[in-house]
Homo-oligomer: A and B are copies of this chain.
Amino acid sequence: MTSISLLGCGLMGSPMSSRLLQHGYSLTVWNRTRSKADALRQQGAQVADTPAEAVAQADIVITMLEHGGVVEDVLFNPALPGAATKLKPGALVIDMSSILPEQAQDHGRRLAAQGVAYLDAPVSGGTVGAEAGTLAIMAGGQEADFERARAVLDVLGRPVHVGPTGSGQLTKLANQMIVGITIGAVAEALLLAQRGGADPAKVRQALRGGFAESRILEVHGQRMVDEDFAKRGSLAIQLKDLRNALHTADGLGFDAPITQHLTDLYAQAADHGFADLDQSGLYRELQRRQSR
């Protein structure tokens, strides 16, 4: 039986660990704040003191961490000690965190140098998707490594192999671009309709099921109709994601005018005090512009 180690038992990593345990995998977990790892002990997980200890026996190592800097630390920092110091040759690291494509490529190269395989496989779908095992999983790396990981990834969601190492992270950025821009489209359209005297709740209802239909119109459009911008997603993180997309585009010599324009709008929203709202709070920035 495949032995799995999961590093990072936060909001996403904990329900993912539970699913792996429910599906009979032998699982060792590590988390910086140990109490979150300990909570998985009664479900059958082993709890390790360090990343290195956690991965020593693992065939597959899953990382689900805050950002690229933390992944770098947890894999490669010798003082922690990081996982790379103890990874078995032939092990497979699946990084499901959202980090920059260039970081993923760097991690992949460094692990390959010690005979360890690597997939970048970030997700979309949030904690609901993690609990239900319905995450969209965007995997970059070698086809054979993807096939090796597939049974495990199938427990967590709907994996698609999109290209070579880094492609998973690139696809996650594409996801965040579409999400961020579509939120702007829905916000601007609902605000205009309201300005002209239409009822935004009825407008949203009328648009559902036509060509304007989207998950954003369904979920974030409802938040706009309710003017309820309590943080589920985060406008500050949406802005960071768009900046990461622009940084990546820049490195590829790619001109992304729409992403640039929306990045400017989210930045203005943050400047005007809306950073801690839900990402649908871009509505507040577009609303603010009407009263100047």
Contacts and interface: CB of A to CB of B under 8 A. Distances in A.
Chain A interface size, under 10 / 10 to 19 / 20 to 34 / 35 or more: 35 or more
A233 B185 CA distance: 19
A101 interface: yes
A167 B212 contact: no
A15 interface: no
Interface string A255-275: 111110110010000000000
B174 A254 contact: no
Interface stretch (A48-56, A73-81, A90-98, A190-198): A190-198
A175 interface: yes
B248 A257 contact: no
Nearest to A139: B206
Contacts of A192: 170, 173-174, 177, 245, 248-249, 252, 254, 256
Nearest to A178: B212
Given A162-B206, A211-B124, A185 B185 contact: yes
Contact of A166 (B196, B212, B256): B196
A161 interface: yes
Nearest to A167: B198
A181 interface: yes
A20 B102 CA distance: 59
A207 B167 contact: no
A28 interface: no
Contact of A255 (B193, B197, B290): B290
5 contacts: A136-B206, A161-B202, A182-B182, A191-B254, A192-B248
Given A124-B212, A163-B202, A167-B193, 20 more contacts: A136-B209, A138-B207, A140-B198, A158-B209, A162-B202, A162-B203, A163-B198, A164-B197, A170-B198, A171-B193, A171-B207, A178-B207, A178-B217, A185-B258, A188-B257, A192-B245, A211-B216, A213-B215, A214-B214, A214-B217
In order of increasing CB-CB distance, the 7 nearest A-B pairs are A214-B214, A181-B185, A160-B206, A174-B189, A124-B210, A136-B210, A163-B198
